[in-house]
Amino acid sequence: MRPVIVQEFISLDGVMQAPDDASEFPGGGWQRQFIGDDHVRLMVEQMQEADALLLGRKTYEGFAAVWPSQHDDSGLAQRMNEMPKFVASTTLTHVTWNATLLRGDVARAVATLKELPGRELVLVGSRTLAHYLHQNDLVDEYRLWLHPIIVGAGKRLFDEGLNPALWNLFDVISTGEGVVVATYRRVPRH
C-alpha cells in the first residue's frame, strides 16, 4: 500500500499560508529566507522517493503556472515537472502538466491510488485537501518543515474540528538554515 504523506512548510506558530507568495496575504513570502543548499537537497531527496503529487486546485494552479518554466542544477524542477500529479477540484474541467483530475468521491479516488503498487503519494500545500484527507482517515504520515519564524497571522495546517489522531515521531532532521523537518507516522489502530 502506498502511503499518503502530507508535507507542509509551516512557521513556529503553525501558519502554512503563502510561505513563498508575498502577495497572497500580509506576511506572506516568509519561507524564502530559509531556502539554502540543505533545504533544496532534502526536498530533492524527498521528491525522488515519491511516485506522485496530490494537489488541491489552488496549489495546482499556482504550481502549474510556475514549475514548467523552471530549470535548476539540483534536479528539483525536473522532478516536479516529470512527476504525475492528481488534482482534487470541484471546479476545474481540464488539467495539464502531467496531471489527472480527481472527480467525484475524492476520498474513494485517493484510497484507490493508495492500493496501487508503488511509492509515496505526497500532498504539498493544498490545505483544504489535507484537512479532507485527514478527516477521511487517509493520511499516513505528516512531514512538517518547521521554520524558525512567527508569522502572526494566516491559515494554519491544523484547525479546531479535525478528528483526533495519535502520531509517533519517526524522524527529525535539521537544515543548516535552521529548519526542522519532523516526520510523524500514524499510530496503528487496534
Task: With beta carbons less than 8 A apart as the criterion, state whether 64 and 100 touch.
Answer: no
**Per-residue confidence at 159, pLDDT binned at 50, 70, 90?**
confident
- pLDDT score at 170: 97
Q: Is the pLDDT of residue 190 over 70?
A: no
The structural architecture, per CATH, of the domain 4-186 is 3-Layer(aba) Sandwich (3.40)
CA distances from 73 to 13, 39, 43, 76 (A): 33, 14, 13, 8
Residue 78 φ/ψ, nearest 5 degrees: -60, -45
- Domains of the chain, residue spans: 4-186
Q: Rounded distance, CA 153 to CA 55, Å?
A: 23
Question: How high is the pLDDT of residue 22?
Answer: 85
Specify the pLDDT at position 19: 86
* pLDDT tens track for 33-63: 999 999 999 999 999 999 999 999 999 999 9
Share the mean pLDDT of the chain: 94
**pTM for the complete prediction?**
0.94
Is residue 96 exposed (0-12), middle (13-18) or buried (19+ Cβ within 10 Å)? exposed
Among 105, 83, 184, smallest CA distance to 143 is for 184
Please name the residue that has the C-alpha cell 502538466.
97
Asked if pLDDT for residue 23 goes beyond 70, the answer is yes
